[in-house]
Amino acid sequence: MDSFNPDNNFLQSEGIFGLPFTYDDAKLILIPVPWEVTCSYGDGTCKAPDAIYKASFQIDLFDHNLGEEWKKGIYLDLAPEYIYDDNAVQRRFARQIIHHLETESKPLNDRQTKQLDEVNKVCDGMNAYVAEKSTQIHTDGKISGLVGGDHSAALEHIKAVAKREKEIAVIQIDAHADLRESYMGFTHSHASLMNNLAKDATGITKVIQLGLRDICKAEADLIQSSPLFSAFFMNDIRQWQYEGKKLKDIYSDIIKDLPDKVYISLDIDGLDPSLCPNTGTPVPGGFDFYEVVFLFAMLHESGKKIAGFDLCEVGISDNSEWDANVAARLLYQLCLYTLRSNG
Ligand SMILES: [Mn+2]
């Protein structure tokens, strides 16, 4: 650390953002989950943790608003090899099942049903890894963030943070509600994350869904009937703004009733697809980069603690580094505001 020059960090170290921290001396640990087994449309998000890591070296550490908050220590953990392997193997099976469901009117045959069971079992294994890793980080007195992977990877991380903090709100920034009961037979689909969370929402008083713009009727009904969820649709947010309401006031109204501790679950497709063109299920009309960072800042300024976060669904293409570049910068802001709000 003594020899570390933060203005010349691209050669100094192999840590994320070019930082010289180890697990032991970092306050914030990032859990990578290179996972996209049940992705139903575009793929590539399993490559996101590695691509974001590579893109992270481009970022200047000094932050105009938060200064040298990075000094508290950020460390990107390594995912175990079996997570990479399970993802690769099961993704192939899942893709065959998805292809069948999209092209055939017949139900799955016995072999396919067995494959589906196996996919669901291996997804349980990924969840167990995330649960164990999250709990270990918390036991070690550190804060955790998760880098997906598809959004299903975040389930056990959110639950672990909620159990530790006892009373949190989850702020989900997403084009989708992720409230499907299961999707294409996959229990742990990215489209079912919040439905699965609602089944064991210990410690979660509210899930605020921000930026929704592509949901099905059953999801809309669930939002209506469940006291756990409050949804803010993108077209409503824009309409309020067009009619003269300030984004600051919209955010204030949302934040004011939340408990002191919040978790941010950030699906990159909550942002406009111009900022994440390779995400798995892009929907036009999302948030701008600084509209999201402004929310982090308002949470912090209103005295909330960001108790944990995830950043998921970043799509990686061989032809462009743009998605990873945007994601690395968003991740850095998330890390800084999380560290700052934890004192
Ligand atoms: Mn989404």
pLDDT digits over 25-60, tens only? 999 999 999 999 988 777 899 999 999 999 999 999
pLDDT at 136 over 90: yes
Average pLDDT, the chain: 94
How far does the centroid of ligand 1 lie from the alpha carbon of residue 99, in Å?
21
Q: What is the pTM of this model?
A: 0.96
- The pLDDT score that the predictor gives to residue 13 is 62
CA of 148 to the centre of ligand 1 (A): 12
The sign of the CA dihedral 270, 275, 277, 280 is negative
Question: Distance from the CA of 110 to the center of ligand 1, in angstroms?
Answer: 31
Q: Kindly state the average pLDDT of the residues 335-343.
A: 97
4 has a pLDDT exceeding 90: no
Distances 202 to 32, 156, 234 between C-alpha atoms, Å? 24, 12, 28
C-alpha 269: how far from chain center: 10
Arithmetic mean of pLDDT, 227-233: 98
Average pLDDT over residues 89-114: 90
176 CA distance to ligand 1 middle (Å): 4
**Predicted confidence (pLDDT) per residue in 249-270, tens digit:** 999 999 999 999 999 999 999 9
Average pLDDT over residues 226-250: 98
**CA 228 to ligand 1 centroid distance, Å:** 19
C-alpha span between 275 and 269 (Å, rounded)? 9
pLDDT value at residue 48? 97
pLDDT in tens, 274-286: 999 999 999 999 9
72 Cα–ligand 1 center, Å: 31
pLDDT value at position 195? 96
Question: What is the per-residue pLDDT for 7?
Answer: 79
Query: What's the gap in Å between 282 CA and the centre of ligand 1?
Result: 8
pLDDT over 90, % of the chain: 88
User: Which pLDDT score, from 0 to 100, does residue 183 have?
Assistant: 85
What percent of the chain clears pLDDT 70, i.e. is strictly above it? 98
Which residues have CB less than 5 Å away from ligand 1 (the ion)?
174-176, 267, 269
Helix, strand, or coil (residue 14): coil
Q: What is the pLDDT confidence band of residue 2, given thresholds at 50, 70 and 90?
A: low
Looking at the predicted structure, is the pLDDT value of residue 77 above 80?
Answer: yes
Distance (angstroms) between ligand 1 centre and the Cα of 64 equals 30
* Beta-carbon count within 10 A of 234 CB: 20
CA distances to 151, 158, 159, 222, 277 from 198, rounded to whole Å, are 15, 11, 10, 11, 30
Centroid of ligand 1 to alpha carbon of 43 (angstroms): 13
Q: What is the rounded CA–CA span in Å between residue 14 and residue 6?
A: 13
Confidence of residue 9 (pLDDT cuts 50, 70, 90): low
Q: Quick one: fold of 6-341?
A: Arginase; Chain A (3.40.800)
Q: How confident is the model at residue 75 (pLDDT cuts 50, 70, 90)?
A: very high
**Ligand 1 mean position, distance from CA 281 (Å):** 7
C-alpha 212 to ligand 1 mean position (Å): 8
Give the pairing type, strands 143-148 and 28-33. parallel
Answer whether 236's CB lies under 8 Å from 275's CB.
no
Q: Where are the domains of the chain?
A: 6-341
pLDDT band at 11 (very low <50, low <70, confident <90, very high): low
- What integer is the mean pLDDT of 314-325? 94
